[in-house]
Amino acid sequence: MSKRTPIAPGSRAPGLSPAGANPLVSAVSQAMQHALAAYRGGDWATSEQLCRLILNAQRDHVEALNVLGVIAAQTGRSPEAAQLLARAVAAQPQDAGARLNHGNLLQSLKRHDEALRSYEQALRIRPNYAEAHFNCGVTLQELGRFDEAMACYDRALRFRPDLTEAYANRGHILQRRERFEQALHSYERALKVRPDDAHVLYQRGNVLKRLHRHAEALESYERAIKVRPDFPDPYNNRGNLLLILKRFEEAIESYDRAVQVKPDYADAFNNRGIALQETRRVEAALESYDQALRIDPTHADAYCNRGTALKELGLLDESLESFARALEIRPSHADALANRAGTLKELKLLDQAIASYRHALELRPDYEWLYGSWMHAKMQLCDWSHWDREIAQLESKIAQGRAVTPPFPVLALTDSPRLQRRAAELWVDGKHPASRLLEPIDRYPRRERIRVGYFSGDYRDHPISTLMADLLERHDRSRFEVCGFSFGPDTRDATRRRMERAFDRFFDVHAASDADIARLARSMQLDIAVDLGGFTDSGRPNVFALRAAPLQAGYLGYLGTTGAAYMDYLLADATIVPPGAREHYTERIVYLPSYQPNDSRRVISEKRFTREELGLPSEGFVFCCFNAVYKITPATFDGWMRILNRVPGSALLLLGDLEQVESNLRGEAGKRGVEGGRLAFGKRLPMPEYLARYHAADLFLDTLPYNAGTTASDALWSGLPVLTRPGETFAGRVAASLLNAIGLPELIASTQDQYESTAVELALDPRRLTAVRDKLGRNRSTSPLFDAELSARSIENAYTQMYERHHAGLEPTDLHVTR
């Protein structure tokens, strides 16, 4: 907000006799002129001395009282200033200027009501007094009486159309009310009068930023900086805009300029930390947050951001402490609550995480992307309270185009491919839009070997590596050069070492910025960049938004469309993306003969688990599902409980990492008439023992809308039949793809009734189940599902088709790969 018109003396006060009327009056008048000249020249001591001499000669000289009062106010002597200006008003009640100055002093003392009365008295004397209308508006604005303030500014401008501050303050009020177009108009009017007003240029930039007119906003900030290089705020807000544009290095430079101008600028240090964190310089970011806190120990945002940096460094307990400090300072800090929830999730304190998400949403119901994260946390705990209402709200908000959820949770929450695509598109538009930071990629020269880069944060003991290792090892090196880019830390486990050896070249880029990773890929002239992460926690979509290679494809890690125009292809098969579903994918579909690769070299432990050590009843049929528990919806669980009720003595073996998950699911079983003891829970085990545990079960029951993927292959590799019911989405049709690939279509149910009836029939008919098991045993070694050599050749044929089209100058299109 612009300040009120500065307290400043005018020329000769109205009502004085003309100079020369008598010698005393003439001397006083000349002395007053010298006093005014000294004041305007900055020699306040001389001006004050002359005014006091004048008052010795003429005690109630209004102009001298005015000047002395102004000097006293400007030198911090408020009580003396109040006394002098009150004397000026009393000496000449009809002097509007004296009333104005008296009001200004009262306003500076926060005596708002008295100030308003003084301005109103000035306006009764001089109704067209623009400065009094303006200062009245300033006082009303500080009191939060914005409509009245706007009316005062409008009156001031009627009498003084060149009053820049009135336009500026109108803009501030309109900006506060989010009437950005009108605010912009006010700032533009101010700049017509005073084109080089740095404060107005700065505020104009802020409004343009809110209107998403980013290029104009940058230009406005830069004009403000050019006019006033010592004005720190435009540097800071220019940095904030560059953050939005993902021009992180420029943002850091802008924040650096801000703190050079103002070394105690805590906000700029905090924002600088955010930009550093975006470029993966997390320790430097932490130091920047700490510097903000050294300047301002009550800076709640810096504590919040410090918590996110500590989480990224794996210092989870310290992260929680930092969020706690932010919340001590500002209990309503929704960002601290939301980010705290993420750390609590990592620590497996899911009940606390859910409460923290809920509190953040209570404080800010429209908190972007948080609703879906909250629901996902509830699913990880199998907390289905208010399920129907919350799912309906989620689906409605996605359909309305609201920023309500990351796309990944939606895969397990709805079987609507339309909503999954919409959620992905909203996420890309809001968080990962295509970037023009790097130049467009020219077509690289043709070469004998196609250069393929696989990008993942999961080169470790993880399902992605389990599925991909054998395929990578079998790539034909005479035709393909294969490079690995690791977004994740080096876990130093055996799988990590195997993955490093599987590539021709392997790059650990987890500490590199997105832009630096894309530059590295470009420097290598990758022909095809394959994203194995997508929108999972370990994904880095911005690498692909920057365009790492001329051709970019999604595979395996994220089971759905990305909604991103910069992803050219999505690898699938005809079961996963049938013709009627094609419209729900923004990428071109590569139809492989069989979608999911597998490691044909995995070892199954010789260990034989007893029913007792698995917590199973001593007798009875054993169903199992080792899918992540967030894939278990109430509808899926309803079906399972109906199956258990129809198969006497049967039990269900599930994955169990948390006691509260086990307690919640046993409680849900009881609500459905199944004794909780019929549910057993297996802990995570080393891979050979985990595979051996499948031998203790009789039938794997799949989930919907998010199917088993790696776990289904695990079960089938171990010789355990898998029963699935395909849905409408990519994630809901993967298990059917696997069963078709291994030649067991009879285990693909087309309806829920068929799914439940098939499970019951297999449990009650041992001969039928044995026949299915025998068929699985025969097909395991002959079908495409576990033929890594076939998977490698198929995917190489896909890459070749992509490459040839590209070098023929053709756009990506759907591709059909034969063996």
Chosen domain end from 333, 367, 401: 367
CATH code at position 49: 1.25.40.10
CA distance 574 to 555: 15
Q: Are 652 and 782 contained in the same domain?
A: yes
Q: Are 487 and 570 contained in the same domain?
A: yes
For 392, how many CA atoms within 13 A lie in the half-sphere containing its CB?
4
Sign of CA pseudo-dihedral 337, 338, 344, 348: positive
State the Rg of the chain over Cα. Answer: 36
The angle subtended at Cα 649 by Cα 644 and Cα 652, nearest 5°, is 50
Q: Are 735 and 678 contained in the same domain?
A: yes
Q: What order do you get walking across the sheet with 622-625 strand by strand?
A: 679-682, 651-655, 622-625, 699-701, 722-723
**What 3-state class would DSSP assign to 681?**
strand
- Written as one letter, the residue type at 324 is A
| Number of domains composing the chain | 4
CA distance 357 to 428: 23
Query: Residue 811 is encoded by which pair of tokens?
Result: 């756009």
- Burial string for 405-437 (b: 16+ CB within 10 Å, else e) reads bbbbbbbbbbbbbbbbbbbbbbbbeebbbebeb
Residue 650 is assigned to a structural domain of this protein = yes
Residues in Cβ contact with 591 at an 8 Å cutoff, skipping those fewer than 6 apart: 572, 573, 574, 577, 814, 815, 816, 817
Beta bridge partners of 486: 456, 508
CATH code at position 570: 3.40.50.11380
Q: Are 467 and 516 contained in the same domain?
A: yes
pLDDT of residue 7: 39
CA distance 266 to 232: 12
Q: Are 585 and 630 contained in the same domain?
A: no
Chosen domain end from 72, 103, 137: 137
Q: Are 651 and 502 contained in the same domain?
A: no
pLDDT of residue 24: 56
Mean pLDDT, consecutive 10-residue segments, the chain of 819 residues?
42 29 64 82 85 81 79 79 75 77 75 84 89 90 90 92 91 92 94 94 96 96 97 98 95 98 98 97 98 98 98 97 98 98 97 98 97 98 97 98 98 98 98 94 94 98 96 98 96 96 97 96 98 96 98 98 98 96 98 95 94 93 97 98 98 93 97 96 95 97 98 97 98 98 98 98 98 97 94 98 97 94
pLDDT of residue 517: 98
Which residue matches tokens 């009303």? 140
Residues in Cβ contact with 363 at an 8 Å cutoff, skipping those fewer than 6 apart: 332, 334, 337
Residue 810 is assigned to a structural domain of this protein = no
CA distance 328 to 115: 37
Chain centre distance of CA 194: 39
Q: Tell which residue, 184, 181, 223, has the closest CA to residue 202.
A: 223
CA distance 647 to 766: 13
Q: Are 651 and 717 contained in the same domain?
A: yes
Residue 379 is assigned to a structural domain of this protein = no
Is the separation of the CB atoms in 814 and 793 below 8 Å?
no
Query: Residue 195 is encoded by which pair of tokens?
Result: 């084109």
Residue 148 is assigned to a structural domain of this protein = no
CATH code at position 752: 3.40.50.2000
Q: Are 495 and 562 contained in the same domain?
A: yes
Report pTM.
Answer: 0.86
pLDDT of residue 52: 86
Q: Are 636 and 576 contained in the same domain?
A: no
Beta bridge partners of 570: 554, 589
Residue 57, domain extent: 1-12+19-137
What is 415-441 written as a DSSP string? --HHHHHHHHHHHHHHH-----SSPPP
Residue 282 is assigned to a structural domain of this protein = no
Inter-CA distances, 10 with 13, 124, 570, Å: 7, 19, 75
Query: Residue 69 is encoded by which pair of tokens?
Result: 């009062």
pLDDT of residue 188: 95
pLDDT of residue 768: 97
CA distance 27 to 530: 91
What is 483-543 written as a DSSP string? EEEE-S----SHHHHHHHHHSSEEEE-TTS-HHHHHHHHHHTT-SEEEES-TTSTT--HHH
pLDDT of residue 2: 45
- Burial string for 763-785 (b: 16+ CB within 10 Å, else e) reads beeeeebeebbebbeebbeebbb
pLDDT of residue 16: 25
Residue 119 is assigned to a structural domain of this protein = yes
Q: Are 695 and 737 contained in the same domain?
A: yes
Residue 442 is assigned to a structural domain of this protein = no
pLDDT of residue 698: 98
Rounded to the nearest 10 degrees, the angle between the axes of helix 659-671 and helix 634-646 is 60
CA distance 200 to 2: 9
Residue 630 is assigned to a structural domain of this protein = yes
Q: Are 577 and 637 contained in the same domain?
A: no
Q: Are 647 and 559 contained in the same domain?
A: no
CA distance 237 to 271: 9
CA distance 657 to 348: 9
Burial of residue 451, with CB atoms counted within 10 A of its CB: 0-12 exposed, 13-18 middle, 19 or more buried: buried
